[in-house]
Amino acid sequence: MTESEEIKFMQEAIKLSVINVEEGKGGPFGAIVVKDGKIIAYGANSVTATNDPTAHAEVVAIRNACNTLQTFQLDGCDIYTSCEPCPMCLGAIYWARPARLFYANSKEDAAAIQFDDKFIYEEIAKPIDQRQLFTKQLLRSEALEAFVKWRDSNLKAEY
């Protein structure tokens, strides 16, 4: 893919972020998924519109792309997002396994307008018992049954 094509796709993700703000649909974030030089999915932040804290632009675009491709991985795809992904979106991107990721605004740019993920990055790095969110492990030995069944299953789709 040429740099001019990469720029064209990034401009599309940025355009989604601007339109999203202008239409009052959510935060200033847009993302697209590209495969074989064609846009196959779009996503814009719709957290407040859908009352879904996971409806970030990248997650929406990934869901739409996987639906379009009828697969749970984005092999051979590129993701273009108007801002450096937050920890949740970065995790989702890694799980989706695209070939490449491109972003425009930085996480510092996002923090400057009160979209600051620093707290989450810091919390993830802490031992569980030092995090601000109370977290307690329960019934591990009972829960391991599902893991054993998964390990031994002939019905599973590996990912």
Q: Is residue 122 among the annotated active site residues?
A: no
Catalytic residue among 58, 108, 122, 123: 58
* DSSP bridge partners of 100: 78
**DSSP letter (8 states) at residue 85:** P
Strands 30-35 vs 77-83: parallel, antiparallel or unpaired: antiparallel
Sheet holding 38-44, edge to edge: 38-44, 30-35, 77-83, 100-105
Among residues 21, 17, 46, the alpha carbon closest in space to that of 32 is found at 17
**Which residues are identified as catalytic?**
58
